[in-house]
Structure 1
């Protein structure tokens, strides 16, 4: 599974709380226009929402893991499933955010899925870097 690591200058719990809340996603995920939360309330395993993308696709999203240091989601659109896992760990006064990203395609989407995972990792990294900058600006004005 393709991975990347970023350094944030905010505590791990602050980073995880922000990244795991779907309501925050349009602020830092460049492909999104809006998020439609289907299960309101705090982030939790099983929480569902719809990602409305800039190109008009609507992906069904679900939180698949949430612990004190890990959050994961799975999203589906047609024959494509994308999985993102974020693990945070304290690092100095801030934290490291380790991201794993994979895309799988079924049937006629298999080739698209095989290519999309490695090709999508730079976009995931750029989006997570944006989230880190936003958090830094809010916590270190």
Structure 2
């Protein structure tokens, strides 16, 4: 069996000496040699123009679902020609402990050829069960797909 290992780098500098309200939340993340600039959610005094950890978690769940679905669709010889996801996450402060408690993935999947919507929905569920990120989360992750037939 192979063990997969992942690494990122994070860099922040500043001062928390003036208290919680005053320090800068902006930090650099390096992932696979690509540097991203991130911050905290605005609710936690972050910069709204930068991605925050909660958004990055949602993006990881959405991306993993896409990649898992494309793999199972290709194996099943289903011709997927477009996939767009309008994903959402909810973190409810009234439901402690504070965490992202719910993720909803809303993919619109466009397929070409003779394949039933039921088959595509089944493959989306198979992909969800195989998604490494979804299986790693304690959050509820649901999928609300729309299936479209390509006219080309």
TM-score w.r.t. the length of structure 1 is 0.32
Give the structure with the higher percent helix: 1
Give the structure with the higher percent strand: 1
Which protein has the larger Cα radius of gyration, Structure 1 or Structure 2? 2
